[in-house]
Amino acid sequence: MVARDASRTDTPLNRIDLDEDPIAQFRVWFSEASAVNPMPEAMSLATVDSDGNPDARMVLMKGADAEGFRFFTNYDGIKAGQITANPVAALVFHWVELDRQVRIRGHVERLPEPESDAYFASRDRKSQIGAWASPQSRPLEGGREELERNTTQAESVFEGKPVDRPEHWGGFLVRPDQIEFWQGRRARLHDRFRYEREVAGWRVERLAP
């Protein structure tokens, strides 16, 4: 087995390489990751519950722009409840093929209903039905069969017509306060740069690995 350190490309990341806008920099890295990673939009979403206990899971980013990072979920689920109780979150993208990470911290808010409607309408029909069928995060007392019955019932309700977006399903926006770009280097002497939001824009500083 090749040692992890020996397999690193040792690609440098210098301050001069970075865009002044972290979202523009993210788009550059995301584009490069899209060329080599089968699911570059996968990100870890960390939240905190009302007791201050952390939680994390993988979700899919469905957009990144000057406002922030978007994802969609069931508003009745555990993560949405945690966001409601404590509207802050952290995101991590890890693109192992490029030996890169992007870490994001910020505040979270619900997306406007028209934006959730538009994204829901773009989903394939089976995924739309699934949003009605799954009582996300709740125990399935009837096992898998309960979920399949819910699916059959939802298919019957919407047979021959478009599937409406459930009121309990929609999007969130993570507005970043910090964005860090991490480039792996040999001997664990990685390159790290953190953007911090300020009133007039973003401050960038290099961090020790």
Measure the N-to-C terminal CA separation of the chain; round to a whole number of Å: 25
Closest listed residue to residue 102, CA positions, set 41, 18, 33, 179:
179
Q: What residues pair up with 25 in beta bridges, in sequence order?
A: none
Amino acid present at 200: A
Closest listed residue to residue 191, CA positions, set 100, 111, 121:
100
- The token pair at 166 is 């459930």
CB 174 within 8 A of CB 91: yes
The one catalytic residue in 57, 138, 186, 188 is 188
- The beta strand positions in the chain, using DSSP E, are 42-48, 54-60, 69-74, 88-95, 100-110, 169-183, 191-198, 201-207
Dist CA 23 CA 171 (whole Å): 19
- The token pair at 45 is 């979403």
Is 57 catalytic? The answer is no
Active site residues: 188
